[in-house]
Structure 1
Amino acid sequence: MVSGTTVAFIGLGRMGGPMAARLVAAGHRVVGHDLVPELLDAAAGRGVEPAASAVAAVAGADAVVTMLPTGRHVLALYRDGGLLAAARPGTLFLDCSTIDVADARTAHEAARDAGHRALDTPVSGGVAGAEAGTLTFMAGGDAEDFARAEPLLSAMGARAVHCGAAGAGQAAKICNNMILGISMIAVSEAFVLGESLGLSHQALYDVASTSSGQCWALTANCPVPGPVPASPANRDYRPGFSAPLMAKDLRLAADAARAGGVASELGLRAAQLYAEFAGSEGAEQDFSGIVRTVRQRSAPPTDSAPPTDPNGTPA
């Protein structure tokens, strides 16, 4: 789609707002809607034309981008909300939400049955990536539709990967975020272990970031203040990618693992830990704040008797 395409953008929150603004900056006409008036006003300040409703936003659009909390919201808007009925035949629907694979496939089928084109295109990169235009898009759907969507995806991000048929984008997203969630817990545990051993955060970072412990959770989103100035740890864990969103993604991954009979012991445990964290002190924090939970649950070292062998003799 060339510059000047009319894009309807539904869902202008922390991710959707900057994504819509990137489309405006690329020369596209963007008509947006959000249920929160403050978000709609903020988007208008960045060049998005506000619409009174989602249905009004899609009238005359060449493409529709949705960024919504759950699959339930996507399906309700597509069908009961009248979005598919209001769009012109052949409109390209791009759902950037992170939802269940089955819901993504259902949404895709509903769009196709209504005479439209559709891709599931969840994103990775968080709010910082949305603002900077460095997101990665994971797309599921027909190759022809992916080719049509690429100019829009390129305007909002740095990379778009066609992962396969409908639902494949969502599958890639939940697998990727299962890796991320497990990694963040592992990095957090390592830093707390280092603290207990008298190792400075900087020393551990300098070693792990240039050796086999290197990972995105460490080098881009380090869970302790200091080593990575841009990480949320230096802003009292104000979210880039919030703990509730990580909990949601890990729940989707855990549900898929159970349904598929996959022995995902670490994934299931990570989902449990993030559900607990997001439901309590982590509700308004970045997902890297899980380090605080690890620290709180760690018992302080105590003097104890020397270890013994199985017969009770001091080792």
Structure 2
Amino acid sequence: METLGFVGLGHMGAPMVQSLLRAGYRVRVYDVVPEAVHALAAVGAIPADSPRSVTEAASVVFLMLQTGLQVKSVCEGKDGIFQHILPEALIVDCSSIDVESARSLQHDAEACGLRMLDAPVSGGVMAAEEARLTFMVGGSHADFVVAEPYLQAMGKRIVYTGAGGSGVAAKICNNMILGVSMIAVSEAFHLAERLGLSAEKLFEVASNASGQCWSLTQYCPWPNVLPNVPSSHEYKAGFTANMMLKDLRLSQEAASSAGVVTPLGAHARELYEQFVLQWGGQIDFSGIIQML
């Protein structure tokens, strides 16, 4: 049985590990929160006590962390992955981080004679639990071919985006669209209510007209229009407001670095900053409809 490594067992990482286990892989796991490791050990994962020990016999090591600094620490810090991973193994970073960090880490990996891809995901916790994630993968195409079968165990759509850093670039751009569209959909439902149009009728029209978008048809923020979305379950998070705010901040950092003006993206960031301040960051990002 092939051994894989996985570092980062949060809302997304834990169900991704479970998908790999269901696919028949042996998975060695680590997280700074011991309870997260114990929970996965209870369903068949092999507990590890450090990033270094995750690399033991692993042909591929996956990372699902919060920030570029965390990824850098796990990879290049004391007893980091770069020092101990098997020379022929592949590192696949599924974290949503900034483009500069992703490119720098791949450059450093290459300098060490190692292989690394950036492969952030889209779809949220429910898609992770159901192995329906979309992966956006940047790096060597040859390495992408190696990684693809493992990614298919966790996702339904695997997109090769190009050179190193292009995966996180795609994720940042996609989630800027997501944040802006969720706000637009939320405003439309409030307007419809004031105009005497029911939420159900607005959904029926807009989901079959030019207003159609994922934030409406797959993740409707108005309660009880769709059954299996956070808005119909008191906004229990599938994708937290903190996560949305993080990605919008990344989009604005990238825009500033690239010299691109994105006024809607900037305003969406401001609104989510206000939302997190008022409502807390653990509520689902679609809950912003309650503030608007």
TM-score normalised by the chain length of structure 2: 0.98
Please tell me the residue identity of whatever aligns with 2:10: G
Partner of 2:278, secondary structure, is coil
Q: What does the per-residue CA deviation read over 1:69-104, in whole Å, with 9 as the maximum and x for residues that have no partner?
A: 100100011111421101111210000000000000
How many residue pairs get aligned? The number is 291
Q: How does 1:105-120 map to 2 (within 5 A)?
A: 105-120=103-118
Task: Give the Cα–Cα distance (whole angstroms) in 1 for the partners of residues 274 and 64 of structure 2.
Answer: 25
User: 1:152 — aligned with what?
Assistant: 150
Indicate conservation of the 8 Å contact 1:19/1:130, yes or no: yes
User: 1:12 — aligned with what?
Assistant: 9
Q: What does the per-residue CA deviation read over 1:252-296, in whole Å, with 9 as the maximum and x for residues that have no partner?
A: 0011112212121101111111122123304121000010110xx
Indicate conservation of the 8 Å contact 1:121/1:139, yes or no: yes
Where in structure 1 are there 5+ consecutive unaligned residues?
295-315
User: 1:62 — aligned with what?
Assistant: 59
User: 1:248 — aligned with what?
Assistant: 246
1:268 aligns with 2:278: no
Task: Give the Cα–Cα distance (whole angstroms) in 1 for the partners of residues 57 and 90 of structure 2.
Answer: 12
Which deviates more from structure 2 when the two are superposed, residues 115-124 or residues 41-50? 41-50
User: 2:19 — aligned with what?
Assistant: 22
Per-residue deviation at 1:48? 1.1
1:101 aligns with 2:99: yes
Indicate conservation of the 8 Å contact 1:134/1:159, yes or no: yes
Task: Give the Cα–Cα distance (whole angstroms) in 2 for the partners of residues 283 and 178 of structure 1.
Answer: 18
Q: What does the per-residue CA deviation read over 1:186-214, in whole Å, with 9 as the maximum and x for residues that have no partner?
A: 00000011111121111111111111111
Please tell me the residue identity of whatever aligns with 1:52: D
Partner of 2:83, secondary structure, is helix
User: 2:133 — aligned with what?
Assistant: 135
User: 2:36 — aligned with what?
Assistant: 39
Q: In structure 2, which of residues 42, 45, 48 is the aligned counterpart of residue 48 of structure 1? A: 45
Task: Give the Cα–Cα distance (whole angstroms) in 1 for the partners of residues 180 and 65 of structure 2.
Answer: 25
Q: What does the per-residue CA deviation read over 1:119-150, in whole Å, with 9 as the maximum and x for residues that have no partner?
A: 00000000001000000000000000000000
Task: Give the Cα–Cα distance (whole angstroms) in 1 for the partners of residues 135 and 117 of structure 2.
Answer: 11
Partner of 2:279, secondary structure, is coil
Per-residue deviation at 1:5? 2.5
TM-score normalised by the chain length of structure 1: 0.91
Indicate conservation of the 8 Å contact 1:282/1:290, yes or no: no
Indicate conservation of the 8 Å contact 1:93/1:118, yes or no: yes
User: 1:162 — aligned with what?
Assistant: 160
Please tell me the residue identity of whatever aligns with 2:22: A
Indicate conservation of the 8 Å contact 2:3/2:28, yes or no: yes
1:292 aligns with 2:290: yes
Query: Runs in 1 of length 4+ with deviation above 6 angstroms?
Result: none
Please tell me the residue identity of whatever aligns with 1:212: S
